[in-house]
C-alpha cells in the first residue's frame, strides 16, 4: 500500500494553486507555494482576460490543461489508495475475496458526481494504473497525458497479463514527450500494435469475447431526440448500414424529397416496429403532462420518463398524430392526482412486492430513471428504502426506483438508506416556494458520507 504522503504531494498542491493563481490573482498564495515568477499583469482594455495578452492566454490554456491532467492523476492515486485500504480492511474483517470492494464504484461515483458506471471506470483506471502502468500514471500526474488518453491506454492493454502490460507501458510512456504529437487514433493504434506483439493470443481472444457484449441501448439527445445505439460485430454492423443505405438510395432515386439520413432513420423505425415512422407504434409511452398543457394550450413542459422534459406543444403534436391514425391503437389517458407541491398522492400495499399499479405510480413519480444521485440509468428495480425485513412498509413513501446495479449496491454492508423531511434546493431564489419539496431519500455510504435524493417535480397542475 502506498504511504499516505505519496497520494497527494505538496508539489501537486503547489502546482494546482499556482495554476489557479494565474487564472485569478486574488487567490492567496498559501504557505506551500510561491507566487508565479515575473511581473504582475497590467490591466489593458486591448487585451483579453484579466490583463493577459493573447499569447499569455494561450500559455495559460496549456497550463490549465496540464493542471487538469495533474488533478486527474492525483484523483487516480487517491482512488487506488482508497481501493487498497478498503480491501485490506475487509480482508482483516474476514470478508470473502469475491465480496471485497462491493459498492466502492458507487462511492467513487457519488464523490465525483458521475454515474456509477463511470465511477466503476474511474476505479478500474486507478487500480490498473497504480498496479501495472507506472509510466502512464507518471505522465498523467505530470500533466503530459490527459485522463482520456490514459483511459485509452488502459483499455487497449487490459487483456494482457500484468507483466506484458508493464512492458507496453514502459515502451509507450517512458518518454511521454513522444506522445505529444499523436492523436487519439494514433495512440490507440500504437497501443494495439505493441499489445499484439507481446501477446497475440490474448488480443484475439478478447475480440472473440467482445461479440458476447453486443446489445442495444437508448439515451436522450437534445431537442426531443434520442440516440438508439447498437453494439454489433463489425460484419453485422456493416451489413445493417449497407441495407439502410440501399433503401435510402432507392427512395431518393424514386423522387423521395427526404434527405438520405432521414430515409435511413425512417426505414429503421418502420422495419423494426412495423408501423409508419410518422405515428408512434402500438407500445406504451408514458408521457406525463398537466391537464392545462394537454387541453388548455399551456406551456408547462411534459415529462417523458427516462428522457426528461419535452415541450408541451411537441407532446400535443405526438398525441394528435396517434389520434389521427385510423389503424393505430389510439391514446389511453390515466389520471394521476398531485398535491399543491406537484407530488403524487400516497398509495400503498400490504404485499412485500409492489403491485402493478403502485409500481407504475413510483416509476412515474421518480421520472423513469434511477434515484441514486447522478445516475441516469433506466429503472429496472423498485425496492424499499427501508428494507421490508427491517419493518419498512410497501407504500410509495418507502419505495424508490433504481437501476439494477444501484439496487444491489445499497444492500452491501455499511450502506444505509432512509427517508427524511422535505429538503430545500439551494439553487432556488430565497422566499420562493420549492415545488420539488417532498420526502427525500438519504443514502449513507460506508465512509459516513450522506447523499440526498429529492423527489423529482411533476408538471404543474393547471390553475382552477
CA distance 171 to 442: 48
Please check the confidence at residue 44 and state whether its pLDDT lies above 50. Answer: no
Please check the confidence at residue 278 and state whether its pLDDT lies above 50. Answer: yes
Please check the confidence at residue 239 and state whether its pLDDT lies above 80. Answer: yes
Q: Grade residue 39 by pLDDT with cuts at 50, 70 and 90.
A: very low
DSSP secondary structure code for residue 216 in this structure: E
251 and 372 share one domain = no
Contacts of 131 (CB under 8 A, 6+ apart): 80, 162
CA distance 349 to 352: 8
CA distance 337 to 345: 6
Domain that holds residue 24: 4-210
End-to-end C-alpha distance for the chain, whole angstroms: 65
206 and 175 share one domain = yes
DSSP 425-461: -TTSPTTS--TT-S-EEEEE-TTS-EEEEPPPPPPPP
On whether residue 42 sits in a domain, the answer given is: yes
CA distance 342 to 435: 6
On whether residue 303 sits in a domain, the answer given is: no
Q: Grade residue 389 by pLDDT with cuts at 50, 70 and 90.
A: confident
DSSP secondary structure code for residue 71 in this structure: H
Question: In total, how many domains does the chain have?
Answer: 3
203 and 74 share one domain = yes
Contacts of 340 (CB under 8 A, 6+ apart): none
Please check the confidence at residue 423 and state whether its pLDDT lies above 70. Answer: no
Name which residue leads in pLDDT, 277 or 135: 135
Cell of 293: 398543457
Q: What is the pLDDT of residues 94-103, one digit of tens each?
A: 999 999 999 9
Cell of 267: 426505414
Q: What is the pLDDT of residues 175-232, one digit of tens each?
A: 988 888 899 999 999 999 999 999 999 988 988 888 889 999 888 888 878 899 999 9
33 and 182 share one domain = yes
Q: Grade residue 275 by pLDDT with cuts at 50, 70 and 90.
A: confident
220 and 180 share one domain = no
The owner of cell 423529482 is: 456
On whether residue 299 sits in a domain, the answer given is: no
CA distance 86 to 97: 12
Q: Taking a C-beta distance cutoff of 8 angstroms, is the pair 419, 440 a contact?
A: yes
Q: What is the pLDDT of residues 293-325, one digit of tens each?
A: 777 667 777 777 666 777 877 777 777 776 666
166 and 72 share one domain = yes
359 and 419 share one domain = yes
DSSP 148-170: HHHHHHHHHHTTS-HHHHHHHHH
Classify residue 140 as exposed, middle or buried by CB count within 10 Å of its CB (0-12, 13-18, 19+). buried
Taking residue 281's Cβ as centre, other Cβ atoms within 10 Å add up to: 16
Q: Taking a C-beta distance cutoff of 8 angstroms, is the pair 371, 400 a contact?
A: yes
Please check the confidence at residue 106 and state whether its pLDDT lies above 90. Answer: yes
220 and 204 share one domain = no
pLDDT of residue 360: 77
177-186, 261-270, 393-402 — which is least confidently predicted? 393-402
DSSP 322-352: HHH-TTS---------B-TTS-BPP-EESSS
Q: Are strands 394-395 and 399-402 parallel, antiparallel or unpaired?
A: unpaired
Last residue of a domain, one of 243, 273, 303: 273
Amino acid at each position: 500500500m502506498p504511504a499516505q504522503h505519496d497520494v497527494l504531494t505538496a508539489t501537486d498542491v503547489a502546482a494546482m494553486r499556482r495554476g489557479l493563481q494565474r487564472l485569478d490573482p486574488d487567490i492567496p498564495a498559501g504557505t506551500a507555494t510561491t507566487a508565479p515568477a515575473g511581473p504582475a499583469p497590467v490591466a489593458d482594455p486591448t487585451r483579453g482576460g484579466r490583463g493577459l495578452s493573447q499569447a499569455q492566454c494561450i500559455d495559460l490554456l496549456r497550463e490549465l490543461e496540464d493542471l487538469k491532467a495533474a488533478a486527474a492523476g492525483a484523483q487516480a492515486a487517491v482512488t487506488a489508495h482508497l481501493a487498497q485500504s478498503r480491501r485490506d480492511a475487509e480482508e482483516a474483517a474476514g470478508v470473502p475475496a469475491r465480496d471485497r470492494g462491493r459498492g466502492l464504484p458507487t462511492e467513487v461515483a457519488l464523490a465525483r458526481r458521475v454515474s456509477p458506471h463511470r465511477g466503476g471506470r474511474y476505479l478500474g483506471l486507478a487500480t490498473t494504473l497504480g498496479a501495472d502502468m507506472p509510466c502512464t500514471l507518471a505522465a498523467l500526474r505530470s500533466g503530459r497525458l490527459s485522463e482520456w488518453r490514459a483511459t485509452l491506454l488502459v483499455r487497449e492493454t487490459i487483456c494482457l497479463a500484468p507483466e506484458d502490460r508493464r512492458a507496453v507501458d514502459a515502451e509507450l510512456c517512458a518518454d511521454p514527450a513522444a506522445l505529444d504529437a499523436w492523436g487519439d487514433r494514433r495512440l490507440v493504434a500504437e497501443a494495439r500494435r505493441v499489445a499484439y506483439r507481446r501477446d497475440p493470443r490474448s488480443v484475439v481472444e478478447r475480440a472473440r469475447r467482445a461479440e458476447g457484449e453486443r446489445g442495444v441501448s437508448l439515451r436522450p439527445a437534445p431537442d426531443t431526440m434520442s440516440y438508439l445505439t447498437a453494439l454489433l460485430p463489425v460484419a453485422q454492423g456493416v451489413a445493417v448500414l449497407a441495407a439502410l443505405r440501399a433503401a435510402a438510395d432507392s427512395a431518393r432515386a424514386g423522387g423521395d424529397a427526404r434527405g438520405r439520413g432521414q430515409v435511413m432513420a425512417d426505414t429503421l423505425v418502420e422495419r423494426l416496429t412495423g408501423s409508419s415512422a410518422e405515428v408512434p407504434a402500438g407500445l406504451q409511452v408514458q408521457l406525463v403532462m398537466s391537464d392545462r398543457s394537454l387541453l388548455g394550450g399551456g406551456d408547462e413542459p411534459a415529462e417523458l420518463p427516462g428522457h426528461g422534459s419535452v415541450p408541451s406543444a411537441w407532446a400535443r403534436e405526438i398525441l394528435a398524430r396517434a389520434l389521427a391514425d385510423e389503424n393505430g391503437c389510439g391514446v389511453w389517458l390515466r389520471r394521476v392526482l398531485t398535491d399543491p407541491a406537484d407530488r403524487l398522492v400516497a398509495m400503498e400495499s400490504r404485499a412485500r412486492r409492489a403491485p402493478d399499479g403502485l409500481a407504475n405510480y413510483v416509476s412515474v413519480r421518480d421520472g423513469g430513471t434511477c434515484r441514486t444521485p447522478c445516475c441516469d440509468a433506466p429503472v429496472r428495480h423498485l425496492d424499499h428504502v427501508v428494507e421490508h425485513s427491517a419493518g419498512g412498509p410497501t407504500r410509495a413513501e418507502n419505495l424508490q426506483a433504481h437501476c439494477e446495479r444501484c439496487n444491489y449496491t445499497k444492500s452491501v454492508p455499511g450502506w444505509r438508506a432512509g427517508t427524511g423531511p422535505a429538503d430545500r434546493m439551494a439553487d432556488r431564489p430565497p422566499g420562493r416556494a420549492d415545488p420539488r419539496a417532498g420526502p427525500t431519500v438519504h443514502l449513507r455510504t460506508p465512509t459516513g458520507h450522506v447523499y440526498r435524493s429529492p423527489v423529482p417535480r411533476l408538471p404543474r397542475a393547471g390553475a382552477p
